Amino acid sequence: MLSRRELLRSAAVASIAMPYISNGAFAQDAYPAREIHAVCGFPPGSGADIFVRFYGKKLQDALGKTVIVENKTGAFGNIATEYLAKAKPDGYTIGIMPGSSFLAAAASLFTKLPFDPVNDFEHIATLSKLPFLLCVSGEGPFKTLADLTKFLKEKGDKGSYGSLANTGIVSSELYKAQFGLNTVEVKYKEAGAALNDLYGNNIAFLHVDPAFAAAHVKSGKLRALSTSAAERIDALKDIPSAKEVGIMNSNIIAWWSVHAPKGTPKPILDRLEAAFNKLAVEDDTKQFLANSGADPFPNSGAKLKELLIADTKAWAEYVKIAKIDKIS
């Protein structure tokens, strides 16, 4: 039989251990206790918004709690990313984003960021990968990249192209750098306006996310002349790679990923990582990605952080090659 002193000692040890257990193993079992908010840096109804809502619904089904998408648009994704960085680190606010653009590219594209892309976040998992598509009007005269390049060389600085996202900007500038083009950039806040100008021949081309462009390419309204990747992507087997059409300096592959505010408890991060890696390779996810011109790309939080650091360095080189001035 335990003495009174031994009982008191055992109780004291248990009281010391309980907070650790509550914050560790028990926290993972209890999570989530309420709805989760998924931050999206794009407007409702956009191709990227549909992408975020697809994964949000999959996560909702996996965890049994409602996932609410919060659209925080503007500043090439910086508004959404800053919002996520400043959110409470409790696992109930996550970001589903094109991490290659919102995080890896941002450090090289902006003079000052209101967040540290690597150190202000917990990096949970990668979801998918895809190149951007160099598109022209489906009813226009350009059948190949050589046709477009010849036209733009003749136009000089009277020619123009559209830009919507960080990845598209750099992809276009690398194309220009490869062939010595003086084509002028026209910035757009929304894809609809850019497409209208493309159809109306006000701009010659546009690098665009295949998640948005796939349906337009399939219908014939857009013609994809190449991807921004050096090799062909499984989901876009019929579209030439950048290397195949002579854009030798480009191997840009956008990747989508999941992040949380710095300090989010590890048991919660582990549960989210496991959930996203499982749903990333489910059959309906694969079909959804194929329809969007993307390939599945599941990976751990640790591998995601490594990728982020490596791509941050790569983007610095891309921006240098393309001679892009940082945005203030």
- pLDDT at residue 167 in the model: 81
Helix, strand, coil abundance in the chain, percent, nearest 5 = 50, 20, 30
Q: How far apart (Å, rounded) are the C-alpha atoms in residues 279 and 287?
A: 12
* CA distance readout (Å), 81 to 26, 56, 70, 217: 30, 17, 12, 30
How do residues 258-290 score in pLDDT, each as one tens digit? 999 999 999 999 999 999 999 999 999 999 999
- pLDDT at residue 192 in the model: 87
Please check whether residue 275 is in contact with residue 243, taking contact to mean a CB–CB distance below 8 angstroms. Answer: no
Residues 6+ apart with CB under 8 A from 172: 134, 161, 163, 185, 205, 207
The CATH superfamily label for domain 133-236 reads Periplasmic binding protein-like II (3.40.190.10)
Please list the residues that pair with 215 across neighbouring strands: none
- pLDDT at residue 23 in the model: 45
Q: Which segments of the chain are extended strands (E)?
A: 36-40, 67-71, 93-97, 121-130, 133-137, 160-163, 184-187, 205-208, 222-227, 254-261, 295-299
- Quick check: do 24-130+254-322 and 133-236 share a fold? yes
CATH 3.40.190.150 fits 24-130+254-322, yes or no: yes
- pLDDT at residue 29 in the model: 63
Q: How far apart (Å, rounded) are the C-alpha atoms in residues 38 and 65?
A: 12
Q: How far apart (Å, rounded) are the C-alpha atoms in residues 95 and 115?
A: 14
Please check whether residue 72 is in contact with residue 85, taking contact to mean a CB–CB distance below 8 angstroms. Answer: no
Which alpha helices (DSSP H) does 64-134 contain, by range? 78-85, 99, 106-109
Structure tokens at 56: 């949000």
pLDDT in tens, the chain (328 residues): 444 444 334 433 333 333 333 444 444 568 999 999 999 999 998 878 999 999 999 999 999 999 999 999 998 899 999 999 999 999 999 999 999 989 999 989 899 999 999 999 999 999 999 999 999 999 999 999 999 999 999 999 999 999 987 788 889 999 999 999 999 999 998 888 999 999 999 999 999 988 778 888 989 999 999 999 999 988 899 999 999 999 999 999 989 999 999 999 999 999 999 999 999 999 999 999 998 889 999 999 999 999 999 999 999 988 888 777 888 7
- pLDDT at residue 170 in the model: 87
What letter represents residue 265's amino acid?
Answer: P
- pLDDT at residue 319 in the model: 85
Domain boundaries, the chain: 24-130+254-322, 133-236
CA terminus-to-terminus distance, the chain? 73
Q: Kindly state the DSSP code that residue 110 receives in the 8-state scheme.
A: B
